[in-house]
Amino acid sequence: MSDIAGVWDVPLSDKVHKVEFEHGTTTGKRVIRVDGEEVLRRDWMFKLVGKEAFTIGNSKCEIIITAASGFSYDYMLLVDGKQLKKFKDQRSKIMKAWFCELADKTYRIVLEKDTLDVWVNGEKKETTGEFVEDGTEIHFSLSDDSEDNVFIKTVSSGNKKEGIIYNLIVNGKEIAESPE
């Protein structure tokens, strides 16, 4: 019988990580897996509530276990000190993500708006910036053997509240942003 108490998806620049948490409510066992790999295990704990800390890349994470009613428990994942939903909302403000498929291969492309770093399938890419008539373009390659023309075009929206618009262009075609 599985003791999985919580599963969360954590979107970071390199990829969306899957966090699984097992909690044995009779033994106190706690197991945390990130992307299927066990990162923490505690067996036979007498205290069934508390906190467990771990990391995903540079992000500090914590699972908080609290008693609900009777013999049930609530589980909350914090990432960099914020509840997961708040963390995701904050990340969506500083990160743009796209998925595109070329030659039967899927690419996840992420732009960190605060640093202008570009990630492709978890690998940080070298970029070159270019000023163009109506904004800027950030050029990069999808892979070492890719000859595709790929860039992120940034233009002003003309609206102070909306700010800058980021569009991914692959071989002359605009790719829709991912809702992750």
CATH number of 4-80: 2.40.128.180
pTM assigned to the model: 0.80
Where does the chain hold its CATH 2.40.128.180 domain(s)?
4-80, 92-175
Does residue 74 carry a pLDDT above 90? yes
3-state helix, strand, coil in the chain (%, to 5): 5, 55, 35
Instruction: State pLDDT tens for residues 29-63.
Output: 899 999 999 999 998 877 888 999 999 999 999 99
Which residues fall within 8 angstroms of residue 124, CB to CB, at 6 or more apart?
Answer: 13, 117, 118
Instruction: State pLDDT tens for residues 137-179.
Output: 999 999 877 788 899 999 988 888 888 999 999 999 999 988 7
- Write out the DSSP string of 77-120: EEETTEEHHHHHHHHHHHEEEEEEEETTEEEEEEEETTTTEEEE
Instruction: State pLDDT tens for residues 146-155.
Output: 788 899 999 9
CATH number of 92-175: 2.40.128.180
